[in-house]
Amino acid sequence: MKKKRKDTAKPKTRRKKSARTTTGKPMNPAVLASAQESSLAGLKERTEVGHLKAGRMPPSQITETRQAGATRVIDEAIRDYVVETEDEKLLQRPHAEADFIRSDPWRVLRIMSEFIEGFDVLATTEKGVAVFGSARVGPDDPQYGKAVEVSRLLAEAGFSIITGAGPGIMEAANKGARLGGSPSIGCNIELPFEQGANPYVDTLVNFRYFFVRKTMFIKYSSAFIIFPGGFGTLDELFEAVTLIQTGKIYQFPVILMGRHYWAGLLRWLNTRVLAEKKISPGDLDLLLLTDDPEEAATAVITAYNASTR
């Protein structure tokens, strides 16, 4: 009888898969650092494009002219070219206990003063509508024209228009407010580069902290109109919907302008998020989708009138 031959072959070891980004790159500190640098450069480029398309030199490209009189020689070697915003200083993890004791409690006072300044400047704002969207688009973009039109219609109905003060859709909305004869308000944010306010802003408030600025958008707005945009636009969209969903704000229309642009997101929300019961069917009815500025303006006016009865 033949003995059975033992299988000496080694079992195949499964190759451990490493985590990857959505574009297939390995998830490691170097890739993440490069992605962050590229992302910031892209943000700056988009902001500059918006100014350039409107026929202006971007503030981030304007160099200070030489002034007469004595000058001081500065040792450039000691400069730190990594610009830290106040948000970054606040949100980064402290390196030592002494850092926390020396900086964060005092930073709370600055945050408090920023809230006070925002409340003080915007206290008289009535019937505000916040308009969000890409800073990249120019006056020749159809969405720019629609932002001007919907803002003009709302301004003529007595609504103030509030934006992030930048170029693109924000500029278009502020322009529409001015054409309609209502207050044109800009809430600017500190970035690692100079963003600059568009020329159609009448009342400008500068913020260091994103969360303070976002509070002003919510507090002084009766509706959000969301044009095609990037992460910042999506952030404002989902924050508003979350506040409505959790009962923090009421009678607050959130209007998506641009059926084609938002179709993919809404399809995913329907077929994936709703299908897996991560949200309720009624949650999707919190959003109005349209391409018509008049339809959007009417929805805002109707909702506002219903809330004041």
The domain ranges of the chain are: 111-307
Distance CA 186, CA 25 (A): 38
Distance CA 296, CA 128 (A): 14
Sign of the four-CA dihedral 148, 149, 154, 157: positive
For residue 182 the two structure tokens come to: 């209502």
Using only C-alpha atoms, the chain has a radius of gyration, in whole angstroms, of: 25
- Per-residue confidence band for 68, with pLDDT thresholds at 50, 70 and 90: very low
Distance CA 50, CA 113 (A): 31
Q: Is 282 a residue whose pLDDT tops 90?
A: no
For residue 41 the two structure tokens come to: 């450069």
Distance CA 218, CA 239 (A): 9
Check if the beta carbon of residue 204 is closer than 8 Å to that of residue 186. yes
191 exposure class (CB count in 10 Å sphere: 0-12, 13-18, 19+): middle
Q: Tell me the per-residue pLDDT of 213-270, one tens digit each, with 9 for 90 and over.
A: 999 999 999 999 999 999 999 999 999 999 998 889 887 999 999 999 999 999 999 9
Q: Is 111 a residue whose pLDDT tops 50?
A: yes
- Per-residue confidence band for 45, with pLDDT thresholds at 50, 70 and 90: confident
Phi, psi of 223 (to 5 degrees): -165, 155
Distance CA 237, CA 203 (A): 24
pLDDT of 79 reads 39
CATH of domain 111-307: 3.40.50.450
Q: Which residue is listed with tokens 């508003």?
A: 240
Q: Is 146 a residue whose pLDDT tops 80?
A: yes
What pTM was computed for the model?
0.78
57 exposure class (CB count in 10 Å sphere: 0-12, 13-18, 19+): exposed
